[in-house]
Structure 1
């Protein structure tokens, strides 16, 4: 997906989320993010979008200034819809003012800049809309092609050099000697092979035999990999191989789950 397509999807996903949470109970728990209330979720989504809009729009090459200008979500849930649609619009406007090669800081360790952030905001919107659905008892649907793009964001971010260096707990858990996990979306084009090496997790886009294969609809695969739905509660996914490898992988996918 191109940057503009990611941002269009960010606006669409956020607008849906904004409609869901508008006027709802701020203290409602978010089951998929055990330490969060609905207010925490709204604050995280909108504040992240605003921070990224500042990073990109002001071409920041270090993040401290953006972090220091954090603005919390309104305390009144009746203001949430306008606030969230506004933060998404700010992000879309910021990205429209730059090109993919505009220098902007990002945490990947690969100087990915604008493309990193456009995809990251998209992945955030997709996964956190699932959190809102869980909190409000609403069904979650995501087009297979979008779900594949969100899986790509999730896996690429968690296997990046920056994530490995900044999350030593994850790095220690994922060190290996070549163990392989294959994730395969069956309703859209998307396959990934994760290979656990001593110094990193290598991510490839390929179809090949692996120690464990997990295959099924892309949206269900996204929810399981992001720990938004237990594997045991997702009968649409097929497993072939060493179950302990995927259990260990999911156990340590605790990034942005509020626990």
Structure 2
């Protein structure tokens, strides 16, 4: 997917999310983000989109201005649909005003800029739509292409140099001496191998032998790896190899309330 396709998908996913939450109980708990209510979830999705809109639209090379520009979402859940859809539309406009090589700050440590943020917004809304599905008791479906993009975002972000350096607890848990995990989407062309090294996790988009292999539909992989669905409830996934290694990986993919 290119930047334009990512933002088209962001608008579509946000529209579905907005329809689900519109007019619902703002105090409803979100089980997959235990400290959050539905209002917190809505606020987070819209606020992140608006922050990224500022970063990209104003071509910021450091983030403090965008962080300081936080504005909470409406208190009235009857206004959520319009607010969320406006957030996504504004983000789409901001990305249309730049090119992929426009300098924009991002936290990856790799100066990935505009492409990083376009993929990050899609990953955000896909995962948080799963949170809303659990909170509201509605079925969650995600087509293979956006699921693949969201899965790629999750894995790339969680194994980035920036995440490693900013989350020392995660870094300590993920240090290794070459243990490998392969994630294989069976309904779209996507395969990743993560290798635990002493100083980082190396992620490669490749097919290779690994200590543990997890295969299945991209959406199911996304839900399990992002800890939105227990592995025990993901009947469509096949696990081969070192199950303890996979359990350790999932246990420390703890970007639940922040991501």
TM-score in terms of structure 1 length: 0.98
Render the CA deviation track for 1:60-79: whole Å, top value 9, x for unaligned.
Answer: 11100111110000000000
Render the CA deviation track for 1:20-50: whole Å, top value 9, x for unaligned.
Answer: 0000000111111111100000000000000
User: How far apart, in 2, do the equivalents of 1:68 and 1:234 lie?
Assistant: 40
Cα contact 2:225–2:250 (8 A) shared by 1: yes
**Matched residue of 1:172: which SS?**
helix
Shift of 1:258: 5.8
Aligned residues: 259
User: How far apart, in 1, do the equivalents of 2:109 and 2:157 lie?
Assistant: 10
**For residues 187-226 of structure 1, what are the structure 2 equivalents within 5 Å?**
187-226=187-226
User: How far apart, in 1, do the equivalents of 2:56 and 2:258 lie?
Assistant: 26
User: How far apart, in 2, do the equivalents of 1:201 and 1:11 lie?
Assistant: 32
**For residues 126-165 of structure 1, what are the structure 2 equivalents within 5 Å?**
126-165=126-165
Render the CA deviation track for 1:68-113: whole Å, top value 9, x for unaligned.
Answer: 1100000000000000001001100100100111111000001110
Cα contact 1:35–1:258 (8 A) shared by 2: no
User: How far apart, in 1, do the equivalents of 2:128 and 2:73 lie?
Assistant: 15
Mapped pair 1:123 → 2:117: no
TM-score in terms of structure 2 length: 0.98
Cα contact 1:10–1:121 (8 A) shared by 2: yes
Mapped pair 1:58 → 2:58: yes
Map of 2:112 onto structure 1: 112
Gaps of 5+ in 1: none
Cα contact 1:100–1:114 (8 A) shared by 2: yes
Mapped pair 1:3 → 2:3: yes
**Matched residue of 1:214: which SS?**
strand
User: How far apart, in 2, do the equivalents of 1:208 and 1:60 lie?
Assistant: 39
Mapped pair 1:43 → 2:43: yes
Runs of 4+ in 1 over 4 A off after TM superposition: none
Cα contact 2:227–2:256 (8 A) shared by 1: no
Gaps of 5+ in 2: none
Map of 2:103 onto structure 1: 103
Cα contact 1:29–1:37 (8 A) shared by 2: yes
**Matched residue of 1:213: which SS?**
strand
Map of 2:185 onto structure 1: 185
Render the CA deviation track for 1:196-216: whole Å, top value 9, x for unaligned.
Answer: 000010111111211111111
Shift of 1:257: 3.1
**For residues 58-97 of structure 1, what are the structure 2 equivalents within 5 Å?**
58-97=58-97
**Matched residue of 1:223: which SS?**
helix
**Matched residue of 1:100: which SS?**
coil
User: How far apart, in 2, do the equivalents of 1:5 and 1:78 lie?
Assistant: 29
